[in-house]
Amino acid sequence: MPAFGLDPEQLRWRAELRALAAERLRPLVAGAPPGRINRPLVAALGELGLLRRLFPAEGPVRALDLCLLRESLAMECTEAETALALQGLGAYPVVLSGTPEQRDRWLPGVRAGRAVTAFALSEEAAGSDAAALTLRAEPDGSGGWRLTGEKCWISNAPEADVCTVFARTTDGAGARGVTAFLVPADRPGLGGEPLEMLSPHPIGRYTFDAVPVTRADVIGPVDGGFRVAMRTLNLLRPSVGAFAVGMAQAALDAALAHAGERTAFGGPLKDLQAVSHQLAEMATRTEAARLLVYAAAAACDADAPDVAKRSAMAKLLATETAGYVVDAAVQIHGARALRRGHLLEHLYREVRAPRIYEGATEVQRTIIAKELYREEPHR
C-alpha cells in the first residue's frame, strides 16, 4: 500500500523485505523455543544483509530506513523484527559513542549475526525513571571498577554475547553519575536467568557479583552514560512506532480477509455496518500512525529541532493504535483468534510490551507536554 512520502525505490524495498521475512525468516521461527535467543534467525539476518542495513559502514542508519526495516519485518515475522531491533539497541551505544577499538572488536560480529547484543539499563526499581538506577560501579584501586547489583527486564539476557551495561559511578548525581560499560558474557561474576513473560521474545535478569571492567570497557565519558543511553533511545524511538504500525497492519489485513470470507446473518461480515465501520476506523488509525512515524523519522534524519516531540508523538500514537487495532481484529475474528498459534493470539501477546519499553506511554506524554512549552512562550 503506497504511503505519502515514500519514493518508488523505498516502496520496492519494503515489498522485498516483506517477501524475505515471509519466505526466509518466518520458517526459522517454527519450533524455536519461546523466550530464548534464536541464533539461526539472527545469523540469517546477517546472511541476508539486513544487519548491514542496520549498521551501515558509513555511520548510523537513517531513521526512515530503520522504520521501513522494522515495519516491513513486523508485518510478516515479529520475531525477526525483534531480533534485528535488539541487535540495534545493544550495539548502537558502541556505534554512536564507542571507541574505534570497541567498534572494530564487536561490530563485524554483530553485522554478521554471529554476536548477539543486549542493552542493560532497566532495574526492578528503575524502569521509566532510568536515572534512579542503583547498579554500582566501585573503583577497584587499579583504574578499573567492579560492578555489583542486578539488571531486570533486559532483552536477550542472560544469553547475549556482549552487553552494554549502565552503572552508577557517582552517588547522589542522578543522571550525571551513570557510566556505560561494554561487558562480554565471559566476565567472571556475571550471571542471570531468563524470565517468562507475556511476549515470546527473550527477556531476562542479569546479576553482577563484583564483575571487573576497565577503562577500555567504558563507552563514552565516565559519568556520561546517561547521554549514551538517550542517544541510542532517541534514534530508535520512532522505529518502535514502526514496529507497532507493522503489527497493526498485519492485524488489519487479517481482519479484512476474515470479514470478507466469513458469513453470518445471511452474508459476509464486511456487509454488517458494525464490522465495516470498525474496519474503517482500524485502517484510518493505522495510516495516521504510519504517517506520524515517517514524519518523525524524516525529522530525525534532518536533525530538526523538534525531534524529541515528534518521536514521542510517533511512539505514543503508534503503540496505542496497534493495541487498539489488534484488539479490534480479535473481536472481529471471535474465539478462533484466541487459540494458541493463531496470528492474532501471537500479536495480542506481542503488542502490549511496546507501550511500556523505551519510554512508557505516560513518559511520552510528559515529553510532549514539556516540548510544547519549550518551543514558544504561552500566555
Catalytic residues: 358
What's the CA gap between 289 and 274, in Å, rounded?
23
Q: Outline where DSSP puts E strands in 241-321.
A: 263-264, 267-268
Given a contact cutoff of 8 angstroms between Cβ atoms, the answer to whether 37 and 159 are in contact is: yes
What's the CA gap between 263 and 195, in Å, rounded?
42
Residues contacting residue 31 through CB under 8 Å, at least 6 positions apart: none
CA nearest neighbour of 357 among 138, 52, 121, 50: 121
What's the CA gap between 94 and 102, in Å, rounded?
7
CA nearest neighbour of 247 among 321, 342, 166: 321
The residue count of the chain comes to 379
Given a contact cutoff of 8 angstroms between Cβ atoms, the answer to whether 201 and 42 are in contact is: no
Given a contact cutoff of 8 angstroms between Cβ atoms, the answer to whether 204 and 158 are in contact is: yes
Torsion of CA 198, 247, 229, 359, to 10 degrees: -70
Given a contact cutoff of 8 angstroms between Cβ atoms, the answer to whether 76 and 26 are in contact is: yes
- Running DSSP on this structure, what letter comes out for residue 25? I
- The separation between CA 144 and the C-alpha centre of its own chain, rounded to angstroms, equals 31
Residue 126: in which H helix or E strand, if any? none
Torsion of CA 46, 49, 55, 57, to 10 degrees: 120
* Burial class of 32 by CB neighbour count within 10 A (0 to 12, 13 to 18, 19+): middle
Before 158, cis peptide (omega within 30)?
A: yes
- Running DSSP on this structure, what letter comes out for residue 14? H
